[in-house]
Amino acid sequence: MISIQNLHKSYVTGNNSLHVLKGLNLEIEEGEFVSIMGSSGSGKSTLLNILGVLDDYDQGNYYLNGKKIWGLNETQAAITRNAMIGFIFQSFNLISFKNAMENVALPLYYQKVNRKKRNLIALEYLDRLGIRDWAHHLPSELSGGQKQRVAIARALISHPKIILADEPTGALDSQTSLEVMEILKEVNDQGITVIIVTHEHDIAALTKKIIRLRDGIIGEVITNGDLQKYRDKVKHE
């Protein structure tokens, strides 16, 4: 599903260049539930933005579902994203003057689905996420957990093959974080590939594979027996 070889990415500002990704290799299969960990500034968001076709890379290969992602213009990138990817962010990224239903329906607006139909579908998704009663509330009237459910519903409404989540529990208390992770697990159980960036060990421990970014490459991949040891260790902290 995701195949990356020798990926390089630098940010250039003025005369300075910051080499963030330095020849990274990564393979993620369809249906995986993966977390990407690494210290602040290690390039987690940079990598996720490249995976999500929100940003370019400088060198290397990125294949998404067998298609080489390189040199796309904004329209082509948007088509790829709309067909494949749902995004979830730490800060929810909801539109403040639209209610929960309208926020969830937004991707269908861009697909030119008429208002009545897209709102009905949005209500179904809100129902699935247990917040149908909040459909007509603005984001400012919702708790953090409710806002993230709205964001997840919005991500799911266009039937993505991959969910990319950048610190999805970063703004939530620990109980709500667990609820959001339970939802993401259910999403993954339906066959959708889920990739989460986090710096919280207990969140990473709930995924099925942990990838550590270090010095611009993948430093470590924790899975299977090692993952069980990791979970046991997290539990006793």
Say whether residue 46 binds Mg ion (CB under 5 A): no
State which of residues 7, 35, 36, 45 lies at the interface with Mg ion (CB under 5 A).
45
State which of residues 24, 35, 37, 44 lies at the interface with ligand ADP (CB under 6 A).
44
Say whether residue 9 binds ligand ADP (CB under 6 A): no
Does the CA dihedral 67-151-43-214 come out positive or negative? Answer: negative
**Distance separating alpha carbons of residues 169 and 162, to the nearest angstrom:** 18
Candidate segments 13-21, 56-64, 156-164, 224-232, binder of ligand ADP by CB under 6 A: 13-21
**Distance separating alpha carbons of residues 213 and 62, to the nearest angstrom:** 17
Q: Closer to ligand ADP at the Cβ: 42 or 188?
A: 42
Enter the DSSP assignment of 98: S
Please provide the DSSP assignment of 179-221 as one string. HHHHHHHHHHHTT-EEEEE-S-HHHHTTSSEEEEEETTEEEEE
Say whether residue 99 binds Mg ion (CB under 5 A): no
Candidate segments 31-39, 42-50, 54-62, 173-181, binder of Mg ion by CB under 5 A: 42-50
Say whether residue 45 binds ligand ADP (CB under 6 A): yes
- Site size for Mg ion (CB under 5 A): 2
Say whether residue 49 binds Mg ion (CB under 5 A): no
Shortest distance, CB of residue 13 to ligand ADP, whole angstroms? 5
**Distance separating alpha carbons of residues 60 and 71, to the nearest angstrom:** 12
State which of residues 26, 28, 34, 43 lies at the interface with ligand ADP (CB under 6 A).
43
- CB–CB of 108/118 below 8 Å? yes
Strand order in the sheet with 2-13: 16-28, 2-13, 59-64, 67-68
**Interface residue list for Mg ion (CB under 5 A):** 44-45
**Interface residue list for ligand ADP (CB under 6 A):** 11, 13, 18, 20, 38, 40-46
